[in-house]
Amino acid sequence: MQAERWKILYLLVGLACGCTSATPKKPSTPVASVSSPTSVKPEAVRPFPRELIFSLVKKWTLGFSGRSGVVCKPLSGPAGVEHQADDSFEAASLVKLPILVELGRRLDSGSSKRGDQLFFEERQRVGGSGVLKDLPAGHAYSLDQLAEWMITESDNVATDMLLEYLQLDSVEGEMVRLGLKKTTVQRKIYAFEEIDKGHDNLISAGDAATLLSLVGQHKLPSSQWMLDVLEKTKRRDLIAAKLPGTLKVAHKTGELTGFLHDAAIVYVDRPYVLVILTAADKPDSEKFIQGLSYEIFSRLADSR
């Protein structure tokens, strides 16, 4: 009997323990991990290094034997660096930039079409650069083709044909409307006799930089078409001479005895406009433009 009692007692204790262990524990409330939403900070963009670029321009211009006008500025953003930016120079083939801009305006307005054709007449044959001077007269060429030859080959016949079509007053008037103060378009390429009459093609580094900036920011009619043409320029012996061959550069050069110019948009990570106008012996001008361009590129190519 005694043994039976102990058995029952052990059984009850075992049941009690079993019930206790079987009773599910109340889950502990997890501690919430409170964190502010992950915010990705935009990568800091370094400001345009004006002081550094200014020092480079100063170094090269002080060591240059001739006269120069220089503008270097970001394609979009604050003002850059200027040296004699308002000085007038013989435009040489840089006059082809205003012609391209006026043609772009006509194309955008619909008053002209890229497929419209002009006939090459024998009287329009002139020398210098280009392909048309070696082709027979009497053939018609589209405005689009003439514009491309004018820029990429610096074709003087194509330039004069477009100038006759657009008219000198209209081209210069458009430059005035755009606020260019030192740019004149008053003679055909080889009409040097007009200079003695006070009619000349002039430009400043500031005006050329303004035109390229407007085109590069797509603020002018037909901007993308003009950029496409400028990027095909074949001559790359000045601003682009020491830059990587694969680098995209939209530019126009100009050369006349005693003058050598280049005006460009250089497409690095942060594109910039660089215009260098010179009046000096050609070897000195070449060294100046190439050297200054390369040093500026070296500082700006990876600027973020």
55 is a domain residue: yes
28 is a domain residue: no
Number of domains in the chain: 1
43 is a domain residue: no
Residue 30 pLDDT exceeds 50: no
- Is 14 buried (19+), middle (13-18) or exposed (0-12) by CB count in 10 A? exposed
Residue 194's domain spans which residues? 50-300
- Please list the residues that pair with 141 across neighbouring strands: 118
Query: CATH number for the domain including 287?
Result: 3.40.710.10
Q: Is 77 helix (H, G, I), strand (E, B) or coil?
A: coil
Average pLDDT over residues 99-125: 97
Helix (H) or strand (E) holding 279: strand 272-279
Provide, rounded to the nearest whole percent, the portion of the chain with pLDDT above 70: 84
Q: Which residues contact 112 (CB under 8 A, 6 or more apart)?
A: 103, 106, 143
Residue 32 pLDDT exceeds 80: no
CA distances from 67 to 76, 83, 107, 130, 171 (A): 28, 11, 37, 28, 27
Nearest to 297 by CA among 242, 236, 246: 242
83 is a domain residue: yes
23 is a domain residue: no
pTM metric for this prediction: 0.84
With cut-offs at 50, 70 and 90, classify the pLDDT of residue 74: very high
Average pLDDT over residues 25-53: 59
136 is a domain residue: yes
- Select the more confidently predicted residue: 12 or 61: 61
Q: How many helices (H) and strands (E) does the chain have?
A: 9, 9
With cut-offs at 50, 70 and 90, classify the pLDDT of residue 77: confident
In this prediction, residue 26 carries a pLDDT of 44
- Select the more confidently predicted residue: 69 or 13: 69
Residue 280 pLDDT exceeds 60: yes
For 147-166, the pLDDT digits (tens) are 999 999 999 999 999 999 99
User: In the numeric block, which tokens belong to residue 120?
Assistant: 């090459």
CA distances from 219 to 60, 101, 146, 213, 282 (A): 32, 11, 23, 8, 34
Average pLDDT over residues 101-117: 97
In this prediction, residue 5 carries a pLDDT of 45
241 is a domain residue: yes
In this prediction, residue 47 carries a pLDDT of 85
In this prediction, residue 44 carries a pLDDT of 55
With cut-offs at 50, 70 and 90, classify the pLDDT of residue 15: very low
Residue 69 pLDDT exceeds 50: yes
For 168-208, the pLDDT digits (tens) are 999 999 999 999 999 999 999 999 999 999 999 999 999 99
170 is a domain residue: yes
On average, the pLDDT of the chain sits at 88
Q: How far apart are CA 117 and CA 134, in angstroms?
A: 19
